[in-house]
Amino acid sequence: VIAREENVYCMVNPAPAADLSRSFYRQVDLLTPNESELGLLAGMPTEVPAAWRTAGHRLLDLGLQTLLVTLGVDGSLAMDSQSELHLPAYKVKMLDSTAAGDCFNGALAAGIDALVEARGRTRDRLVLTPGDLAPMIDRATRAAAMSVTRQGAQPSIPWREEVDGFDSWYPQHSS
């Protein structure tokens, strides 16, 4: 509530998923569940792509501004009431996925913060569509892809400079 009153962009990763009130969704700008959390929040199974969209629209209908579902090897799905965008995952030789979600969300939050900083921090409400988020989602996907090729949680999270070098790193680690 305080973030909304101050027009602070509010990104929430609902892990572990819990039953959330309808008013909660109206306070959140971006919700980033994974596939199973999406199913729990929407109250339905989400094993197939069509179900991801149906479940996503259930949450958007509760007043959520934007939804970004992480789908592991299936990439991610960003949705708002007007549009949706599916971004593929990078195929890599996976070693340990422990930190993938946290890495993805951290890189995404850093990207959103950089955008806010570049635009100049104002009291105006920031509204980001799936298309606006696409470059940040891609960077977060790159960071998570690097993370899963390494053992452990915190040690697997790449530094910013490593993610900057993803294009030269990827050919040696793709599957």
Buried b / exposed e over 46-63, threshold 16 CB at 10 Å, is beeeebbbebbbbbbebe
What residues have CB less than 8 Å from 20, skipping those under 6 apart? 14, 41
Strands 30-31, 11-12: pairing is: parallel
Active site positions, annotated: 102
The first and second tokens of residue 175, run together, are 């599957």
